[in-house]
Structure 1
């Protein structure tokens, strides 16, 4: 049975909402510079607004910082989840074993055709996007799986959303938008695929230069699950813990509420959760 496949162990990541359990891992001189915090908070509010109040799955590792920030604000809200799913090189053709292992990963993260067809709220996948290859792989995987499980695709397609984080550029008629060149996006309702623009320097840092707590992981990458404890990971851990702490600050919560309140239509469910927080 896929969900019990012992070959697929999801990578370990510390629970940063309870940093007192980290022991001596944070000992040292690591003082992370959260120079990107203001931009991250602003983008987080936009992502919440586009999600429709449902679950948010942060795909891969690129948006771990947004996940950490929001878990600091919303603590153990079950709608915030990481989805350790990294795509392979562009042009690579999936095979049966890849699909099987990908389904194991999705199942362990609570994403199955059965659940998607029966959830009352949208399910959003969030990732930094360049060409949209990871989103396309994820969409194709879900599309085939839904058909195989004989779940109603017309229902599922109205439940899933893809939120791409893109670098902010000057807009013009010649501006290239990744979803305009991705044929699969036309199979989803209007608004199911959206973008949140981010300052180019922050985009580049999170996508290319930021040290991550875990290695790349996904179908066919099962061997990269060992927990590293070197100085680089300790800095990444310190940064992640600092982002959780930033999320706990009253001014961060106030900024998120203010930004969400200015969005139309009002994202009522996330506003209610933030107000309760």
Structure 2
């Protein structure tokens, strides 16, 4: 094969990979099952191309196809790869059992998340008896400015880095959502002062959350741990200090597992 032929083959192969991944990226929680016509509309690719790619992805296990409804959805191979990725994460390895036990003890939702770009990304999620959910949060994203986890993840970034990361105009989810840089700066300063972040109906009505940073061996914040649930179950007016101590303690245990050893002066204050 000539160098020019190899170049054409390489370009074509890359394009096919990009098209296949664009097809997979169309599927969301809101749209978990789609028809070929919907995939065509979402990707802008031709129907014959989408049909061919969808068939290949079904054959490889990346998509599943229901012949009765003619709907396509995410296949088992994607779930398998996601599990491999999670199990290789040092934060997930250090936190999974601890988070599961804490959720059972408190009866609340307990989560661990990292920051991927301008979004948080859930690595662990277990719900307690007082905070049931119909689906897992693992793999979902979320806004940094409107969540306790997000504020814990970015609390030590300088203001210019925060602005570069998430801009200066923030989406409003409820009347309580922080929507301006000065408000967010105050909230982040409070996190640094207390050692934990709170979220009171900032993302969703009727729910609240409390989170603390997780650090790697260098002291850098690499993840955050939270407890969350309905207002009545969390009962922050009476339990905030108790829950904060618990969250900070467990976040510190994960940090220690990652090799971090805090100096006494760095401990959070309640």
TM over 0.5: no
TM-score by length of 2: 0.32
- The structure with the largest strand share of the pair is 2
TM-score by length of 1: 0.31
Report which structure shows greater RCO (CA 8 Å, sep ≥6). Answer: 1
**Rg (Cα) greater in structure:** 2
